[in-house]
Amino acid sequence: MKKIAIALGLIGLSAFAFAEKSSTDSIAEYRQMLQDGNPADLFEAKGEGLWTQKRGPKNAALEKCDLGKGPGVVKGAWVELPRYFADTGRVQDLESRLLTCMQELQGFSAEEIAKTPFGKDEQNNVTALATWVAAESKGMKFNLSQSHIEERKMYEVGKRLFFMRGGSHDFACATCHAQDDKRIRLQDLPNLTKNPGAGNGFGAWPAYRVSNGQMWGAQLRLNDCYRQQRFPYPLFGSEVTIALGVYMGVNGKGGETVAPAIKR
């Protein structure tokens, strides 16, 4: 080893080349290298299989699930969610809507799945399904409806939640995500109050997290935001998470979805 170290003293020169490049450029280069071969593909494939597979107490597939564009229509559904659903009488995001379908069509208990910790059992399947559904809209532009009064109310609630300061550190979503061109440590922070931040930021989830090798849907993304904000635990599919989805999704109107993305 020593020998190599000595022989390599020469290579110290190349360190100069590195110094020329800013760390931001280097990080961008690193991210670029990961784009080709996003492990999210593995979850997308799994989700595609789950959609047509007969499962649950009713031994049925999800092929007739209505994600907002009619039974079985998947393409384009993701860029219009969350939206109001007349059959449940509430505004739902992708994951809470998948729970409705799993309950109605397959006979699973939506309540049980919502209570299951992330990364376990049926929660894993919900994440895989969400990954596939989102991927089916890849490259499409966000276009959330604000025509129903409940959708408009949820936007207003989401806006209030976004700026709500609380927890031990007085953090709001807005503390980190209401300005342009800021970063936390080395990570760029999207400004989620407008485009391109809202479209790129909100529109990137589900995403594969390289730091822990996990696939995260928007629900888990928001859950961990609240954890880092030092807030209590937001329930899966709860109104706060959906209202924030409406707020960010509407702000991202016209932005192109890149989900499923690959993230730190």
End-to-end alpha carbon distance in the chain: 33
Token digits of residue 123: 């929660």
Tell me how far, at minimum, the Cβ of 120 lies from another protein, in Å. Answer: 15
Closest of 149, 140, 146, 130 to residue 247, by C-alpha: 146
Tell me how far, at minimum, the Cβ of 190 lies from another protein, in Å. Answer: 13
Closest of 93, 230, 112, 215 to residue 164, by C-alpha: 230
Q: For the chain, what's the residue count? A: 264
Tell me how far, at minimum, the Cβ of 83 lies from another protein, in Å. Answer: 13
Please, which residue, 36 or 70, has the CB nearer to another protein?
A: 36
Tell me how far, at minimum, the Cβ of 225 lies from another protein, in Å. Answer: 10
Residue 181, sorted as left (phi over 0), alpha (psi -120 to 50) or beta, turns out to be left
Please, which residue, 137 or 223, has the CB nearer to another protein?
A: 223
Q: Are strands 187-189 and 182-184 parallel, antiparallel or unpaired?
A: antiparallel
Q: Report the alpha-carbon distance of residue 75 to residue 79 in Å, rounded.
A: 9
Q: Which of 65, 101, 176, 225 is catalytic?
A: 225
* 3-class DSSP state of 172: coil
Please, which residue, 60 or 189, has the CB nearer to another protein?
A: 189
DSSP symbol at 55? B
Look-up of token digits 């991202």:
252
Tell me how far, at minimum, the Cβ of 28 lies from another protein, in Å. Answer: 10
Q: Which DSSP string corresponds to 206-231?
A: SEEETTTTEEE-HHHHHHHHHHHTT-
Instruction: Tell me if residue 173 is catalytic.
Output: no
Catalytic residues: 225
